[in-house]
Structure 1
């Protein structure tokens, strides 16, 4: 869960962009839509994917 409104399938992520406010912008493979994490969602996603802050 990246936000209270979004649950993301990690296998369908096309790309990730770290934003200056600590959030992450997620581009998905199957939909033409950009999803943004909450700050807590970004922290959790970084932990799951073992990304640096």
Structure 2
């Protein structure tokens, strides 16, 4: 399971708690979404009612 926030810091707390409660293969995405995007990885957004996709 990957836990992610915008910068990578806030997600470290829930990732740690999940591990402490027995979840295995939990990863905190270093750099968060900002790091993900800067690395050139693809992102998608779910369609939301009332929002235009254009």
TM range (shorter): under 0.3
- Greater strand share, 1 or 2? 1
Q: Structure 2 length normalisation: TM-score?
A: 0.21
Which structure has more relative contact order (CA 8 Å, sep 6+)? It is: 2
Q: Which has more radius of gyration?
A: 2
Q: Structure 1 length normalisation: TM-score?
A: 0.21
